[in-house]
A and B are shown apart, each in its own frame.
Chain A
Amino acid sequence: MKPIAGFTLWKRTRGGLTHLLLLGGSVIMLLPLYWMLVTSLKTYHETIINPPTWIPKVLQWHNYLDAWHAQPYMGRYFYNSFYTSIITVIIEVIFSVLAAYAFARMTFIGKNILFVLFLSTMMIPGEVLLVPNFITIAKLHWMDSYKALIIPWTISVFAIFLLRQHFLQIPWELQEAAYLDGAGHTRFLFQIMIPLSRPPIATVALLKFIGSWNAFLWPLLVTNTPKMRTVSIGLMSLMQDEGPQYHIWMAAATLALLPVLLLFLAAQEQLVESVAKSGLKG
């Protein structure tokens, strides 16, 4: 046994303190999610006792079924959320890959002006666009349709820049070789560029899916029948119709969070990395 020198002792205390602080922080961060889960598995009567129980006496799994059936259109809300999120992601990826390629690898008239114009849209707060876009949707007779939920969100200037940044790093020599083999821009893009850019494309898709799934204000404005509503809005109807049945609310909230949570757990590294990158690029 080596004697613990003062230095080592300090290091150990410091290490312990670090873990203590981080653990405390983590508990606070996860507590609301834990509380949601625990409440979702209690009976109604167990939700209204003092002191509250930290672990349900008997796990009430059927709360999830009750939450699912609490709204006649619950299945439909989930379908709508999945459908709009997935289609938005697919269209966004296609559109932004094309645009990013044009900016990264093509020479054309007005390139710089367009670039600046695209950039400037990132400065506009979405709230300014809310009223005129709502009117546009009404004029196009898109109210209460998937088009209204999807099309305005298919362009993300951020995604275009992220992909462009990646495309710029693909060596020109590859393009040259492809050109000599007779591959023009289109073939090069689809056969070489896209396969080489899977990680950033996945990143863009992931961020879009989460953003789309979590959307609230826009779907609230452009849908008005239950059959077109998304999960976020379905939760609001559930709260209004059910009254304060907290165990059912929490079960519904858990169901609504599940897709993004699972996606996050599956692609954690990638997601965190991409968020970190977005910060560095400024």
Chain B
Amino acid sequence: MKLGATLGRGLNMPVGSTKFAWRKFWADSALAYLFLLPTLAVLATFSFYPVVRAFTLSLYDWGLSPDKEFIGFQNYVEVFHDKVFWLAVRNTAVYIIGTVPVQIILALGVALLLNQKIRFRPFYRLAFFVPYITTATAISMVWLWIYHDQWGLLNYILGWFGADPKKWLLDPRYTMMTIIVIGIWKIIGYTVVIFLAGLQNVDRELYNAARVDGANDWQGFWHVTWPLLSPTTFFVSITSMIGAFKVFTEIFVLYGGKPGPLRAGTTMVFYVYEAAFQDHRMGYASAAAYILFFMVLFVTFFQLWYAKKHVHYDA
């Protein structure tokens, strides 16, 4: 009877005898699995299996040749002893720190400005959002041209302010900066849109009440809007950080398939890419990829833990 009742709720109708209910349950289950079959097949092949496979691969010394040697955690040890790996970790950290907070602050500012009844609002939103959907390779070509040391737009504009032309793409000191600028430019519109949606949920009444009580713009923002917006800020910081871990294409295009001058643009994904597809060390690359995986997990869990203490989910 209990089952009949559950199914009855599921279909919102009386189901009758228990026997009928069971038959219906099995038939439904079979159909459900039929519906899920294609998804399960693809996920099993290209998501579940490779997670396991990457780990087992990481325990072997293997370079696409027939001989494959089990070496335990030797690859991991080697990764940790590689200076270039630590350079990649450092560069990825620089990229994350250079893009995530800056873009969040800028996007929040833009969203606050846009969150008013103003003219040309759709135009502004469009202008900020367009870069987000652009093709990374095409747009990196454009930036490559902008960064050109002789004819580039950037040096020309900086020249208005009396700055000397810089060799943006040739000087390793600027390598991370060149991709950080593209990263911020590309993601900011996404964050603006998310913040605008989050601001819709901020109770206008509460803000007005604070204003009536004598709070100024800044106090109203700091004591009402900012705390109420914290779930959105949290979401944005997690997604943009996970996204920042993946940076690859911009470097590849800007530096002609190489990780920048003197490897100054080696990021973690670039490191995995080089190990696997240039040095053909599949086991070693898998070990590096797994370390990357755990770093992403660690940072995500750290943020979740931090959010538990500081994010206000209720008004």
Contacts and interface: CB of A to CB of B under 8 A. Distances in A.
A118 interface: yes
Contacts of A257: 134-135, 138-139
A39 to B, nearest CB: 7
Contact of A39 (B110, B143, B145, B269): B145
B193 A236 contact: no
B28 A279 contact: no
B189 A29 contact: yes
Given A50-B156, A279-B194, A22 B246 contact: no
A56 B50 CA distance: 51
A131 B38 CA distance: 23
Interface string A17-60: 01101110110011111011001000000011111100000000
Interface string B131-149: 1111111110111011010
Given A123-B300, A256-B137, A26 B197 contact: no
Contacts, number: 288
Interface string B96-118: 00000000000001100110101
A231 B198 CA distance: 36
Given A15-B118, A128-B54, A136-B50, A260 B134 contact: yes
Nearest to B128: A29
Given A129-B54, A130-B289, A280-B197, A106 B35 contact: yes
Interface in A169-225: 172-173, 175-176, 179-180, 185-186, 210, 213-214, 216-217, 221
Nearest to A96: B39
B185 A32 contact: yes
B245 to A, nearest CB: 6
Interface string B32-43: 110110111011
Majority secondary structure of chain A interface residues (helix, strand, loop or mixed): helix
Interface string B14-38: 0000000000010011011101101
B285 interface: yes
A98 interface: yes
B151 A129 contact: no
A216 B141 CA distance: 13
A6 interface: no
A155 B39 CA distance: 6
B208 interface: no
Majority secondary structure of chain B interface residues (helix, strand, loop or mixed): helix
Interface in A111-145: 111, 114, 117-118, 121, 123-136
B6 A107 contact: yes
Q: Which of B10, B135, B145 has the most CB of A within 10 A?
A: B135
8 contacts: A102-B32, A107-B25, A121-B47, A131-B57, A131-B286, A214-B135, A216-B136, A276-B193
Given A128-B51, A128-B289, A276-B193, A217 B248 contact: yes
B58 to A, nearest CB: 9
Contacts of A235: 137-138, 141, 253
Nearest to B189: A29
Contacts of A22: 110, 113-114, 118, 120, 124
Given A108-B28, A130-B276, A30 B127 contact: yes
Contacts of A74: none
A132 B146 CA distance: 37
Contacts of A35: 142, 145-146, 153
A154 interface: yes
B282 interface: yes
A129 B142 contact: no
Given A124-B47, A235-B138, A185 B31 contact: yes
A151 interface: yes
A25 B285 CA distance: 41
B17 to A, nearest CB: 17
A134 B272 CA distance: 13
Given A125-B246, A155-B46, 16 more contacts: A26-B128, A29-B128, A32-B185, A35-B153, A49-B151, A95-B42, A98-B38, A105-B10, A114-B36, A127-B289, A129-B47, A216-B136, A232-B135, A233-B137, A271-B133, A276-B193
